[in-house]
Structure 1
Amino acid sequence: MPKKRVRWSLAIMTAAAVAMGSVAGSPASAQDLSGTFVHHVYFWLKQPNSAGDRARLIDGLKTLSSVKTIKAHHIGVPAATDRPVIDKSYSVSWMLVFASKADQDSYQVDPIHLAFVEHLSPLWERVVVYDAEAID
């Protein structure tokens, strides 16, 4: 994997961890993600300037959040940040936290997920997934 992609991947995972409160020294009320499995999906729409396509994708992701094995989820769009390491070329991101890899595997074959892919995949031209297992 190229160095820039590795740095970008690490930056995304670090930002996600900070946002979800799993970094040492975070407030006591923050959620501990030890032992979890993170599944982060980036979508590039075929028509990136189509507000309708983006809204359809986001609505579909909201429907996906009802899958029982999902512990936490986040739907996002590129943030208004500007540093050389930031890739803002994607249209929508979908970050999921599962209790285990087995729960993520179950999500992949869940009928809600399969219907999402079947009905909405014509909207995107590219999807990139980063899966991460907790180290503790």
Structure 2
Amino acid sequence: MKALEKKLVHVVNFTLKPGLSAEDRKRFEAGVSSLHTIDEISIFNVGTPVPAGGDPNVVRNYDYCLLCIFTDMEAHDRYQVHPVHLNFIEQCKQYWEKVVAFDSETI
């Protein structure tokens, strides 16, 4: 069996403020999508919760989920201070009510 390379996985769930306009949501989507341009990210995805299904363990109490995978902690740390990331926060923080982040290292 091939050993897995260690990676750092960064997952962020955003709950947006109630009553945002469709235009505000588009601005948020453009902002969060801009993060894909950061070279330190090996794998990037942004999505919304899937419709309710039969699994009661699936959490759907957020509006958008960001997934970034980095080769190591140093790449993650560079991402955190990258101008595109900082610009996204500055331009879009007005749209979210709650942000929950999960960082994990592959085993």
Kindly indicate whether structure 1 or structure 2 has the higher relative contact order, using CA contacts under 8 Å at least 6 residues apart: 2
Q: CA deviation at 1:37?
A: 0.7
Per-residue deviation, 1:53: 2.6
Shift in Å at residue 133 of structure 1? Answer: 0.4
Q: Does 1:126 align with 2:98?
A: yes
Compute the RMSD of aligned alpha carbons.
Answer: 1.9
CA contact (8 A) 2:15 2:64 kept: yes
**Total equivalences in the alignment:** 105
C-alpha distance in 1, partners of 2:50/2:4?
Answer: 23
State whether residues 47 and 53 of structure 1, in contact with CA within 8 Å, keep that contact through their aligned partners in structure 2.
Answer: no
Instruction: Give the fraction of aligned pairs with identical amino acids, expressed as a percent.
Output: 34
User: In the alignment, which residue of structure 2 is the partner of 1:115?
Assistant: 87
Instruction: Tell me by how many angstroms 1:50 deviates.
Output: 3.7
Structure 1 portions without partners, runs of 5+: 1-23, 25-31
Which ranges in structure 2 are unaligned for 5 or more consecutive residues?
A: none
Q: How far apart are the structure 2 equivalents of 1:57 and 1:118?
A: 11
- Taking structure 2 as the reference length, the TM-score comes to 0.88
User: Counterpart of 1:59 in 2: which secondary structure?
Assistant: helix
2:82 alignment partner AA: D
* Higher percent of residues as helix: 1
Deviation beyond 3 Å, 4+ runs, structure 1: none
